[in-house]
Structure 1
Amino acid sequence: MQTFEHIPSLRAALKERRQAGETIGVVPTMGYLHDGHLELVRRAKAETDCVVVTIFVNPTQFAPNEDFASYPRDAERDLQLLAGLDVDYVFAPPVEEIYPEPLQTTVSLKPLGDILIGAVRPGHFSGVATVVAKLFNIVGPDRAYFGEKDFQQLAVIRKMVADLNFPIEIVGVPTVREPDGLAMSSRNVRLSAEDRKAARVLSAALEAGARRIGSGEREVEPVLAEMRSLIAGEAAVRLRSLDIRDAHDLGEVQSIDRPVVILVTAQAGSVLLIDQREAMPLLPSAQGRTILAP
């Protein structure tokens, strides 16, 4: 495994692999890796010839009052984990390598980047899309791997790639969870023991919502009301947003008559957590039976 901090040296190494006819996969991360990240790497290793993992805590996706300075970092541990998976290259640049001078060009997706989490964290997805576009241009991958836990981020990246004609396949990988259901996140390490226990309510509420939809509920509000009630039972958890959206494009749904995604953003103590669960409604068939939506 080779580690690079500078763009020209990484590009030179990748040029040789590309000229040899190898396919390149990239896994963009902000480091402090957990098994969710490692599952992305495993998929990339299985599906491409050469895997690049990027480690970069991107300052432009944090607002001034957010946790950029305190975002967890452990470069030595990250490199050990990646070496154990036989990753080819790690790109871990300093901030000045990615942003040598103030940007005059950014990527902004409207309305997709301004709804849901984008409304809670204004400017966040512009920062995400811009840095991912830069990483794609640096690496030139054939495939890029992202977790479905950050469902809106995945949708933003897919839309950017389609709109700007990046020749890259975006691969979404299912959320990896702790044994108690909590979605794996680098931020989980900052939860106190009490908040960590309380945060389990998010996956429990998502499971309850998906179960109600799967049993035939077609109205949005009863599902959300049940979930809000469950989350309200945990005093340490403050709900920031809860939505049911079209699983394809995150559009609003008036009736649950297609595959949907339930998205939750909540504060557990001082830590902002996100999670999601896709749900398939029951639809009537031509023979009068009920079937799961495709």
Structure 2
Amino acid sequence: MRFARVARILASCPALFFAIAVSAHADTKFGSKPVQLIVGFTPGGGTDIVARTIAPILSKELGTIVVVDNKPGAGGIIAADFVAKANPDGATLLVASAGPFTIAPYLNKLPYDPVKDFTLISQLTIYPNIMVAGAETRIKTVAELISTAKQNPGKFNYASTGSGATPHLAFSYFNMLTGIDLNHVPYKGNPQAVADVLGGRVEFYIGDPSAVLPHIQSGRLNALAVTTKERSALFPEIPSMADAGQHNFDVPLWHGLVGPKGLPDDIAKKLLAAVKVVAADRDVKTAFEKAGLELKSNSPAEFMNLMNTDRARWKQVIEVNNIKAE
């Protein structure tokens, strides 16, 4: 009886029925609900800094609240899987990094397809790691490292943040290209790895700028080169790998913005337009530089080319060196 009465009321008020229908439709429209900006690592790290720096500008440009949500674990795989399985309405996005997209596919059985299960929006940053030597080694150039290592095969060690992590892969790649034999010593993170290089227990490291720059500035670590062909605009005084004679060694790191597969074109275009506003913001540029990151945006196709280059490199390094995940 009650339902029949409600039906009569709605039938007699078509304007009310239309308003309810429009309201229901609006609730599903992009921008009508907060956007989750997913980060696959704990607060305070580089990826988290990127997300929290760009969130206010994205919020303004998209006309909705943007909330950073940290979902750490498995080197970013948990967060990537969460976004891969999200509704493709633009309300769930990932600040992506190389690990879950270009390294993990060759080390792990993933719960998602890193190529097919995402919509690429744009790159956000590009930055090098820095190859360093402990001051006690008195090695100050890449050429000296190679020469010393060849004269003493198997004697010297390099630290990493774990098997299959970027520092491990980068030094394995360096070993391949130069024909040297440095021993791998894995640690659980930057602090422990850097501490043992500072203490002289391990000789070399390829580390995140934020982890090694203070010690380079204090003279306790010698900066040998950045891990890219070109010098970094952020640390122009540090030689590039090309400067050091290693023209084939080019390992840039990056962050980017991605969504789940099937993201509608209009939403993807609106997100790309918002990223371009981020890329033009001087305050963002300054904040990124303080974290050792260079601001960068590009097209989805250019972002995909970057990932494909990474995949080809890391697939070869992992297979040739028989590297396994921890």
TM-score (norm 2): 0.31
Q: Quick one: higher RCO (CA 8 Å, sep 6+), 1 or 2?
A: 2
Q: Give the structure with the larger helix fraction.
A: 2
Please identify the structure whose Cα radius of gyration is greater. Answer: 2
